[in-house]
Structure 1
Amino acid sequence: MGWLKRIPRPGLIVLALALASAPLIFSNPYQYDVAIHVLTNAMVAVGLNLLMGYAGQISLGHAGFFGLGAYVTAVLSANYGWPVYLSMPAALVVVAVLAFVIARPILRLSGHYLAMATLGLGILISIVLRTEAGITGGPDGMMVPPISIGGTDIYDERYWYALIAILLVATVWLALNLIDSPVGRALRAVHGSETAAEVVGVHTLGYKVLIFVVSAVLAALAGVLTAHYSGFVTPGLANFIYSIEFVTMVVLGGMASTYGALVGAVILTLLPQFLTGVDDLEMMILGAILMVVVIFMPTGLVPTLARLVPGGRR
C-alpha cells in the first residue's frame, strides 16, 4: 500500500486551488448547481478512464452503476429509515459486490462483445429501476432524505460543492497513485497485450476485475452524492445516453489521462449550458466537436496539448 503515501503532484495542487477559488466567481445557486454536476461527472469519468484508458476495457453501462448507487441509498434511507451515514456506504458495497460478481464473466469478452455486454447490463439496471415501482417508485422516481449533520439538514449548495470538491481531489489523488503503482503497470500491460502480460505472470483477469470494481464504485459514489444533493431520483439516472456521455468525456479529454478525463467532463457538462439557445443544433454541435477531436487529436485534448509542453504528462 506504499502508493497511498505518495506526495501530491503539482497538477493535483493546481486542481485543488482551482476548485477552492472557483466559488469566488459564483454569484448564484444555479452556478453552484452546474459546478456540482461537473464535479460528479468528473468523478465518474476519472474512474471510467482507469478502466478504458489504462486497462483497455470499454464499458457502455456505467450510468447503470451511477443510477444504482443513487437508488440504493435512496431506498435504504427513505423506505427503511437507515441513517444517511449508513445508507451511503451500503450503496457503495452493493455496487461493488454486483460489479465483482458480473465482472468475471463479462471481462472474459473483448471488443464489441464486451461493449454489448456492458450495454446490456446498464439497460437491465435501468429496466429494474423503472419497473420495480413498489421499491423504487417506478418511472415517477422517489424522494431522497438530505444529509444531516448535528441534526441539521444540509441544503446549501456551498457546503455540497465543498464536500464533492474534496472527494474529487481525493479520487484524482488515488487514481494517480494507483496508475504509478504495480497495479497500474499491470493494467498497462493488460492493455498492451493480454497474452504477453500472462506470459510474464500478470493475472490479467484479476486486474481487470479489480479496476472494473473500482470504476463502478466511483460511479456509484457520484450517484449517491447526486441523490442526496438533488433530493430526488428517477430511473433516468441510469439511462443509456448518460453512459455514452461518460465514455465521450474520457475520449474527448484523452484516454489514459486522468486530467484529460476531468477536462472532458468539464467541457461536456458546461457546453450544453452555452448551447441552450440552439436546442435543435446542440447534439449536432457536440457531435461535430467530437469528430474534430477524434480526427485531429486522436489521443484526446490533454495528451495532445501536453506533448507541446516539455515534460508534459497526465
Structure 2
Amino acid sequence: MHPPPTALDSNAGAPRRAWHLRHWTGLLVLAVLIAALPFVMQSVYLLRLAALIWIMSLAALGLHVLTGMAGQVSLGHAGFFGISAYVVAILPARYNVPPLLAVAVAVLACGLLAFIIGKPILRLRGHYLAIATLGLSLLVALVITNEGALTGGPDGTSVLPLTIGELSVTGTRIWYWISGGLLLIGIALAICLRHSPTGRALCGLVDSEVAAAGMGIDIARRKLQAFVIAAVYAAVAGAALALMNGFLTPDVASFMNSVEFVAMVVVGGVSSPLGAVAGAAILSLLPQALATVPEYQDVVIGLIIMLSMIFLPNGIIPALARVWRQR
C-alpha cells in the first residue's frame, strides 16, 4: 500500500481524497459494529472486554498521530495513560474534587506535562528519543509504586464512580457506550487532523525533515504538537479506564503497557487510525485466548509482532485495504 499523501506531494489531491474516503467508510463500519455488538453479545464479560478494546484503541490512536503522522517514536505513552488514571482516582477520593472535573484536570495536566517535557526530549531522534520517553514511563511507574500513601502503592487504589449531578455513571453497558463513543470521536478527529494543514505538515516530517524544513515547516513546533496530542489521547483513555474499572494498579503505567501500545499500532498499521483498533483488538483478545497457558503469552505476542514486521510491514489494515483495491 502506498503511504498516505503528505504536504510534500505535489499531485496528492486525488490519493488524499481516496485515503479519507476509505477511512470515513471504515469509521462508519466501525460505528455500525459498535452499535450492533450489544444486541449480539448478551454476556457482560464480553461487553466489558469490548469496552476495554475501545479504550485501548483510543490510547493507541495517540501513537498513530505521533508515530504514524509525525514519525516520532515513544516508549512512554503509558506514562500519560497512568498519570491521568491516577489523577482521576486521587482527586475525588482525597480532595473531594468532582470526578468530571478530575477528568478535565487529568487531561489538561497530561497535555501540559507533554508540552513541558516535549521541548527538550523531542530534540533527540531515533533510539535516543525512544530511550528518553522510556525514562518517562519508568519514572511515572516508579512514583506510583513507591508513593503508597498517595497512590496505594503496589496494592492499587479504588476509584470513585463518575457522577453527573445526581446520576452515577456505572455499569458495563453504560461504559461500553461511553468508550465506543469516545473511540469514534477520537478516530474522526484523527482523520480530520490528517486532512488539515497541521496534519499535512506532520506527515511531511515522516518523508524528510530536511525537505519539510525547506518548505517552511517549523519542525520543532510540529513535533511538539504531535506529542501533546498523543498525550491527550492517552489521558482521555486512562481516565475512562479508571472510571470503568473502579480500581487501579501501577501496571497501567508500566513499561510493558507502553510496549503494548506501540505493538498495537505496528500490528494494526501505524499509518491508519483504524489500525489502532485492529491492533488493540488482537493484543487484547490474545491474553484471553491464551488464559490456560499464561506462560506463553509474551512469546506469542512477540512472535506476532515479529511476523507482522516481516510479512505485513505496513500493518494489517493497510494490507487488507491493498487486497480490497486489487479485487
Q: Establish whether TM, by shorter chain, passes 0.5.
A: yes
Q: Match for 1:231: what amino acid?
A: G
1:32 aligns with 2:55: no
Counterpart of 1:52 in structure 2 is 67
Q: Matches of 1:170 and 1:81 in 2, distance apart?
A: 29
1:188 aligns with 2:210: no
Q: Matches of 2:274 and 2:293 in 1, distance apart?
A: 29
**Aligned residues with identical type, % of pairs:** 44
Q: Matches of 1:114 and 1:224 in 2, distance apart?
A: 26
Deviates more, 1:57-66 or 1:291-300: 291-300
Q: Matches of 1:302 and 1:39 in 2, distance apart?
A: 17
Q: 1:201 aligns with which of 194, 216, 224?
A: 216
Q: Matches of 1:140 and 1:40 in 2, distance apart?
A: 23
Counterpart of 1:289 in structure 2 is 304
SS of residue matched to 1:308: helix
Q: 2:231 aligns with which of 216, 224, 243?
A: 216
Taking structure 2 as the reference length, the TM-score comes to: 0.90
SS of residue matched to 1:145: coil
Query: For 1:222-241, what per-residue CA distance to the aligned partner results, in whole angstroms no more than 9, with x for missing partners?
Result: 11011111111121210100
SS of residue matched to 1:299: coil
Residue 34 of structure 1, CA deviation: 0.8
Deviates more, 1:14-23 or 1:281-290: 281-290
Counterpart of 1:128 in structure 2 is 143
Aligned-residue RMSD, C-alpha: 1.6
SS of residue matched to 1:153: strand
1:68 aligns with 2:83: yes
Q: How does 1:79-158 map to 2 (within 5 A)?
A: 79-158=94-173
Q: Match for 2:137: what amino acid?
A: G
Query: Residue 68 of structure 2 contacts residue 270 of structure 2 at CA under 8 Å; is this kept in 1?
Result: yes
SS of residue matched to 2:292: helix
Query: Residue 159 of structure 2 contacts residue 247 of structure 2 at CA under 8 Å; is this kept in 1?
Result: yes
Counterpart of 2:181 in structure 1 is 166
Q: Matches of 1:77 and 1:149 in 2, distance apart?
A: 13
Q: Matches of 1:124 and 1:225 in 2, distance apart?
A: 22
Q: Matches of 1:311 and 1:77 in 2, distance apart?
A: 54
Taking structure 1 as the reference length, the TM-score comes to: 0.94
Q: CA 1:311–1:222 in 2, change beyond 3 Å: closer, same or farther?
A: farther
1:232 aligns with 2:264: no
Structure 2 residues not aligned, in runs of 5+: 1-19
Q: Matches of 1:92 and 1:282 in 2, distance apart?
A: 32
Q: Matches of 2:157 and 2:195 in 1, distance apart?
A: 41
Residue 37 of structure 1, CA deviation: 0.9
Structure 1 residues not aligned, in runs of 5+: 1-5
Query: For 1:204-228, what per-residue CA distance to the aligned partner results, in whole angstroms no more than 9, with x for missing partners?
Result: 1101101110111110111101111
Counterpart of 1:3 in structure 2 is none
Residue 297 of structure 1, CA deviation: 1.1
